Amino acid sequence: MDIVVLCKFVPDLVEDLEIDASTHLLDRNFLRLMPNELDDHALEEALLLKERHGGTVTVVTVDAGDVDEALYTAAAKGADRVVKIVGEGLDQGLSSQRLAALFAQAAGEWPHDLILTGTQAVDDLDGFAGALVAARLGMPYVGYVTKVASENGAVVARKEYPGGLNADIEIVGQAVLGIQSAEKPPRYVVTSKVMAAMKSVTIEEFEAGDAQADLELPITGMAVPQSAAHAEMIVGSVTEVAEKLAKLLRERGLVA
């Protein structure tokens, strides 16, 4: 099974974050980047699949700054190829839209039965990136995956739902999976192996084309959320609560 793992870099939250007043974006001068934690889980899951079923693992990231060490670390962990997408302005911060466009362009260049990525990131809590990549590539997407198994040629992804529910979803053909957590904590590879990878591994470069976002929303202003009216607590027996709720929804025109 050939797997492409998409990794992005996110602001490290141990540092104080500053907002640039003119762009309304994070001030990148004070930013320290780190690999997205859930992408690390995606890589781990990919490596586990490779160990079980063979194939290759290709790690793709965007050259957002100091990314080489993370790529060498991925190679030392067992990735077969490490790729960085290079181009103008990639270190200025990317929206999920733009990121997905770049990833979709690059991912197709390497063998992939599956594309794995972290299901969320600190700067993408809604978890758009993976789904957007899937949409661009015309593949199905499953997010919040905690386990990927391959049995008799069929890939089954276990998706976690709120409330302790799980679903095993069988996947036909290629797909993008958003990994919530790998089956095992991401492995730690000793520094000497990373150093050795720095000497022996070549990072492949992929020129970013004019991958445009479908939709970029400009930020026009920022404000601290104001607390408005307080929540109204609906009390009573189950039937009473249900009745009040239904009435309320009808009043607000949310249900017919």
Q: Which of 152, 192, 226, 237 binds another protein (CB under 8 A)?
A: 192
Closest CA to 103 of 66, 73, 141, 72: 141
Of 40 and 113, which has the nearer Cβ to another protein?
40
Q: Which of 149, 189, 198, 213 binds another protein (CB under 8 A)?
A: 189
The reply on whether position 190 binds another protein by CB under 8 A is yes
Alpha carbon distance 86, 207 (integer Å)? 5
The reply on whether position 26 binds another protein by CB under 8 A is no
Stretch that binds another protein, among 115-123, 135-143, 154-162, 189-197 (CB under 8 A): 189-197
Residue 236: CB minimum distance to another protein, A: 46
Residue 187: CB minimum distance to another protein, A: 5
Residue type (1 letter), 110: W
Alpha carbon distance 122, 38 (integer Å)? 10
Closest CA to 184 of 71, 58, 48: 48
Of 29 and 192, which has the nearer Cβ to another protein?
192
Of 28 and 193, which has the nearer Cβ to another protein?
193
Stretch that binds another protein, among 95-103, 131-139, 156-164, 186-194 (CB under 8 A): 186-194
Residue 188: CB minimum distance to another protein, A: 4
Q: Which of 188, 215, 216, 217 binds another protein (CB under 8 A)?
A: 188
The reply on whether position 108 binds another protein by CB under 8 A is no
The reply on whether position 15 binds another protein by CB under 8 A is yes
Alpha carbon distances (Å) from 133 to 46, 86, 102, 110, 255: 18, 18, 9, 15, 33
The reply on whether position 187 binds another protein by CB under 8 A is yes
Mask of contacts with another protein, 28-67, x by CB under 8 A? ----x-x---------------------------------
User: Residues interacting with another protein, by CB under 8 A?
Assistant: 12, 14-15, 32, 34, 185, 187-196
